[in-house]
Structure 1
Amino acid sequence: MSFTSLAMAILMILVPVSPAHPDAQVAQGRLIGRQADEVDFFRGIPFAAPPVGALRWMPPQAPASWEGDRDAGSVGAICVQAPANGDPGVGPPPSSEDCLTLNVWTPTERAGTLPVMVWIHGGGYNNGSGTAALYDGANLARRCVVVVTINYRLGRLGFFDHPALAAERPAGQPAGNYGVMDQIAALEWVRDNIAAFGGDPAQVTIFGESAGGAAVTHLMVAPAARGLFSRAAAQSGLGRQRSALMAGDRPGRPSAQSLGVAFARSAGLGADVAAEALRALPAERLLTPMPAFFSDNLIVDGEVVPEDVVEAFAAGRQAPVPLIIGTNSAEFWWIRPVDAGAYGRTDDAMTDAEYDALLAAYGGQDGYDAHVVSDLIFNEPARHLARLHAQAGHAAYLYRFDVVPDSNPEPSGGATHASERPYVFDNLDTVGRTMGGRDHRAATAMADYWTTFARAGDPNGGDRPAWPEFGAAPDRLLEFTNDGPAAKAVPFDERLDLIERFYGRVRP
């Protein structure tokens, strides 16, 4: 062999060239993906059988295998949901009950196995998908991680029960939380197949926002999810919610089965409706009336989600993994405590003394009305879960997101609910408005913190400002601001302390 030929052979070994249509062999068969800008991506991969017909309101079943090559260049259908309301996290139509697919992004050039980040979208367990451009994982994958986004059943297809369904179930079969079961099935698929994309199944981070953040904490207390992930990040994921039981009504909290009976009546079905009749309903009929996340879609079924998150954390029964948890500075700025709906009623149980003390802490009625719902639903619960996780001896990192672009059209006075998502994914081009240099710097920092956390279980590294660990530095967090991230004491601790005492009285 000539010297030139030998040199070319060595070069081919050292610098492998990935094809424009990369392939991956998973348990079900061979996938043909796509490549762009040094990232390979595979879309529309089934991780469970279509939950249709007799499989509606059943635990997810294993996906079927296929012969030959399966094209993975296009996203699958989003799960059945009401028409999009402008949220960029919804994803493209069509919608279908046959929606249990996931998407994978991985660097084209890889040295060894890489940490994996599995995104769980928000949307009140009623809308959203893993297929939205907002959640494109390419910019995170370029930071040397493998990114997975998933779909899961939504609304009454994902979070529902009825006595007729209960009557036909075998003893011990999990029910109610079908959307959470789908999330667990996706994590099991990742465990079994992610090595084909260069990912390390022993180094999986789950992260999600809003309902997806609540899902992260549900998975932290779900026995069936134990061992399927090694780190977690909950963005605006509630924490103090009181879920519906499967069959037992509680004061002010109907059970999942009572809610199911009420829906069946609204659909014109009698009290003795059979399970077959429920399964025969068109999927679109299940959307009306729209179930409410805070009061309808949160279920403690006793098996998949055995107890409320805050109770599990207080007893130290959550997954012992490093946790990022945080909120935005103006989460529900548009909701007032007198508004109809579950969020607006959160302060109804306050005594006059509790209300007067909070009114003073907020500087009067205007401040109370503008901020108390966000503090009750998001800010105090996040601090509380961070404290409980740290007290259990686990690493916890609390944050507050307060980046507001000049082009923000909302009179929010801060960072509104869900506005951190394009920064975490470093996908500012998906928000539909002009973003400046400070926004791009914030997105770079946030994506770097998140991917470093996925790699090491600690978001710190490089020349970024140090993010204090909550156990070592109690009541200190990292705040993302227009001037960059900065470590500081938890803001507005006086009013959060009052809310903590209120919750301690009504739910000791």
Structure 2
Amino acid sequence: MRRRTFLEGGLGAAAMLSSRSLLAFAETRPVVRTSAGEVRGATKDGIASFLGIPYGADTSTRRFQPPVPPTAWTGIRDCIRWGDRSPQLGGSSRARREEPKQNPDTFHLPPDEGPISEDCLHLNVWTPSPSRAGHKKRPVLFYIHGGAYNGGTVNAALYDGTRLAKRGDVVVVTVNHRLNAFGYLYLAELTNDPAYADSGNAGMLDLVLALRWVKDNIASFGGDPNRVTIWGQSGGGAKCATLMAMPAAHGLFHRVMSMSGQQVTAAPKKIATDRSRQFLAKLGLQDVSGTELRQKLDALPLETLEDAARVSGAWLPVVDGGALPRDPFDPDAPPLSNDVPMILGNTHDETRGLIGGGQPALFSITWEDLPAALQKNVGSFLGGMDPKDVVTKYRGWYPLYSPADVFFAAATAFRSWPGQVIEAERRAQSPASNRTWVYQMNWPSPVAGGKFKAPHTLDIPFFFDNLALSPGMIGATKDEIRRAQPLAEAMSQTLITYAKTGNPNNRAIPQWPSYDLSKRFTMMWETKPLVASDPRGEERRLAAQAHYRQPGT
């Protein structure tokens, strides 16, 4: 009896131990069923992550064509590593798994990761827990990366959704999609092949397919398909604006936040066709059409297409009358999205990174050389204004500014800010007038002695609450991170509240009124956030005289 009791007790304990081990394994390696098959993720800090989930099939078999859903798989697919990223205009499919490290003495983002291929339609999900019966569905934050329409990826530590998901009890999704010629080569005017009818917006249709994947699958990850916020920085913000004018995307998202990225107009057919004609000429295919063109394009190596894509630095979505029937924000805000709340923001010193990062001599420019530097770098945005007159205006407004300060302030006001102003004004003139908010990122980065101040991209680690993962943007010391953390908490909480309610107001910030044309209330993201009325109003009015036109359109 004693022996039997011992054996039974031992077997029971072993069974209990095995059950606990299986439960622990299931919690650390969660499995979720999607429409294409089961995926297995990993858990860290109480957040389950699923990396590299296919939302579309390999695009190498459908070059320059709309995407299709992935082929279903059997068994469980491990999703614990970044998926491939799209071919890059400035890179190569032969690129190393990680980009070269940036100069530690300049402002820079964490490196991009993962191989490059045409099998790039992957997304990533972070969730406090996959769906269980009776659990309340969480709002979804769907992030689109920057890099214009030419390059970029979400495969980087900067876009890790762990802290944001944990802080706000939200589901975070980040997405890769086709870029440059692979996503925006407009062939409809150069061939009668129906396969290419939507080729000028294939990259945008990738995003639509990803949003459809969210609608169909995100509930299984604990997300609410009826509370999806699309947000993006730079090119990602421009893609958000474009999605707002695309009928195929209507109803797939419910709030928008655009960060330093606007798309007032898209490429007209003529400009897009000329761009594509140059691309084909580079390949020696300018006289080929019909199905023969498709056969030849399909047969070319990826590297050859990448090289041809460099004929243009301005690949853009196309107003093709189909996928994109009109300009995103011209002549007005898209009526299709009037019922969708929108936040628009810019950083105070956009061009200190965008221009100054590649031309360090501008930080020590003289008054004598300043007008010529403005003409060289932003002359096309001045609308015929004499740069000497622009300098005179700025010296009058800001007598303590150095020549470099004037250069970057004027370059930002004429080049990087007007698109946001136009979009906000047109929203204010529409039925969406009480559902639009504007912000300005003022917090100065201490990196490189503080010379970059509040440059392009600076708001990303604050909204993601990823300061410690972004030393080249925030500073690497514990003290620098500690000083910035309260602002990151306020900004990320504001984004979370907006995702949940459609209104950004919360206890972490002062009352943030919606944007109108009389007060132009703007949230100023500083060490202590505050609201201002029409900040930089003189600069805004001066830049408006130049009649901004979107580059490449």
Give the TM-score, by structure 1 length: 0.86
Q: How far 1:455 moved relative to its partner? A: 0.5
**Aligned partners of 1:169 and 1:372: how far apart in 2?**
46
Q: How far 1:174 moved relative to its partner? A: 2.2
Q: Percent identity?
A: 31
Q: How far 1:291 moved relative to its partner? A: 4.4
Counterpart secondary structure, 1:307: coil
- Which letter does structure 2 place at the counterpart of 1:464? I
Q: How far 1:383 moved relative to its partner? A: 2.5
Contact 1:331 / 1:417 at 8 angstroms: preserved in 2? yes
2:40 to 32, 42, 47: 32
Counterpart secondary structure, 1:436: helix
Counterpart of 1:499 in structure 2 is 543
**Aligned partners of 1:341 and 1:128: how far apart in 2?**
29
Contact 2:82 / 2:114 at 8 angstroms: preserved in 1? no
**Aligned partners of 1:164 and 1:386: how far apart in 2?**
34
Contact 1:403 / 1:480 at 8 angstroms: preserved in 2? yes
**Aligned partners of 1:472 and 1:144: how far apart in 2?**
35
Counterpart of 1:11 in structure 2 is none
Counterpart secondary structure, 1:422: helix
- Which letter does structure 2 place at the counterpart of 1:175? S
Question: 1:215-274 CA deviation, whole Å, 9 max, x = no partner?
Answer: 01001111111100000000001344x43223x2xxxxxx22211121222334453362
- Which letter does structure 2 place at the counterpart of 1:476? F
**Quick check: 1:428 aligned with 2:452?**
no
Contact 1:88 / 1:431 at 8 angstroms: preserved in 2? yes
Counterpart of 1:145 in structure 2 is 170
User: For residues 175 and 260 of structure 1, do their structure 2 counterparts lie closer, same or farther at Cα, with a shift above 3 Å needed?
Assistant: same
**Quick check: 1:466 aligned with 2:511?**
yes
Q: How does 1:230-309 map to 2 (within 5 A)?
A: 230-240=254-264, 242-246=265-269, 248=270, 255-272=271-288, 274-288=293-307, 291=310, 295-309=314-328
Contact 1:29 / 1:67 at 8 angstroms: preserved in 2? yes
Contact 1:88 / 1:430 at 8 angstroms: preserved in 2? no
Counterpart secondary structure, 1:116: strand
Contact 2:263 / 2:329 at 8 angstroms: preserved in 1? yes
**Aligned partners of 2:305 and 2:375: how far apart in 1?**
20
**Quick check: 1:56 aligned with 2:63?**
yes
Counterpart secondary structure, 1:503: coil
User: For residues 42 and 298 of structure 1, do their structure 2 counterparts lie closer, same or farther at Cα, with a shift above 3 Å needed?
Assistant: same
Q: How does 1:192-211 map to 2 (within 5 A)?
A: 192-211=216-235
**Greater mean alpha carbon deviation, residues 231-240 or residues 369-378:** 369-378
**Aligned partners of 1:379 and 1:504: how far apart in 2?**
10
**Aligned partners of 1:368 and 1:290: how far apart in 2?**
35
Q: How far 1:486 moved relative to its partner? A: 0.8
- Which letter does structure 2 place at the counterpart of 1:362? Y
**Aligned partners of 1:341 and 1:468: how far apart in 2?**
37
**Aligned partners of 1:233 and 1:100: how far apart in 2?**
23
1:97 to 101, 118, 127: 118
2:329 to 292, 304, 310: 310
User: For residues 280 and 410 of structure 1, do their structure 2 counterparts lie closer, same or farther at Cα, with a shift above 3 Å needed?
Assistant: farther
Counterpart secondary structure, 1:383: helix
**Quick check: 1:66 aligned with 2:34?**
no
**What's the Cα RMSD here?**
3.0
Contact 1:357 / 1:498 at 8 angstroms: preserved in 2? no
Q: How far 1:373 moved relative to its partner? A: 2.8
Q: How far 1:448 moved relative to its partner? A: 0.7
**Quick check: 1:455 aligned with 2:455?**
no
Q: How far 1:324 moved relative to its partner? A: 0.8
User: For residues 295 and 32 of structure 1, do their structure 2 counterparts lie closer, same or farther at Cα, with a shift above 3 Å needed?
Assistant: closer
Q: How does 1:183-222 map to 2 (within 5 A)?
A: 183-222=207-246
Gapped regions of structure 2 (runs ≥ 5): 1-22, 103-107, 357-361, 363-370, 397-402
**Aligned partners of 1:144 and 1:472: how far apart in 2?**
35
| Between structures 1 and 2, the one with greater helix share | 2
2:342 to 311, 318, 323: 323
Counterpart of 2:380 in structure 1 is 346
**Aligned partners of 1:408 and 1:230: how far apart in 2?**
39
Question: How many equivalent pairs are there?
Answer: 479
**Greater mean alpha carbon deviation, residues 60-69 or residues 288-297:** 288-297
Question: 1:319-369 CA deviation, whole Å, 9 max, x = no partner?
Answer: 4211110100110133688679997343353255xx676444322776653
**Aligned partners of 1:506 and 1:165: how far apart in 2?**
25
Counterpart of 1:3 in structure 2 is none
Gapped regions of structure 1 (runs ≥ 5): 1-15, 249-254
Contact 1:78 / 1:91 at 8 angstroms: preserved in 2? no
**Aligned partners of 2:287 and 2:216: how far apart in 1?**
43
Q: How does 1:103-122 map to 2 (within 5 A)?
A: 103-108=124-129, 111-122=135-146
Q: How far 1:314 moved relative to its partner? A: 4.3
Contact 1:124 / 1:293 at 8 angstroms: preserved in 2? no
Counterpart secondary structure, 2:417: helix
Give the TM-score, by structure 2 length: 0.79
Counterpart secondary structure, 1:205: strand
**Quick check: 1:407 aligned with 2:430?**
no
Counterpart of 2:425 in structure 1 is 387
Contact 2:53 / 2:123 at 8 angstroms: preserved in 1? yes
Contact 1:204 / 1:229 at 8 angstroms: preserved in 2? yes
Q: How far 1:471 moved relative to its partner? A: 3.8
**Greater mean alpha carbon deviation, residues 111-120 or residues 101-110:** 101-110
**Aligned partners of 2:405 and 2:428: how far apart in 1?**
31
Q: How far 1:113 moved relative to its partner? A: 0.5
**Aligned partners of 2:51 and 2:375: how far apart in 1?**
37
- Which letter does structure 2 place at the counterpart of 1:369? F
**Aligned partners of 2:268 and 2:375: how far apart in 1?**
20
Contact 2:188 / 2:198 at 8 angstroms: preserved in 1? no
**Aligned partners of 1:368 and 1:342: how far apart in 2?**
15
Counterpart of 1:478 in structure 2 is 523
Counterpart of 1:13 in structure 2 is none
**Quick check: 1:370 aligned with 2:408?**
yes
**Aligned partners of 1:457 and 1:158: how far apart in 2?**
31
**Aligned partners of 1:418 and 1:234: how far apart in 2?**
12
**Aligned partners of 2:288 and 2:69: how far apart in 1?**
32
**Aligned partners of 1:422 and 1:379: how far apart in 2?**
21
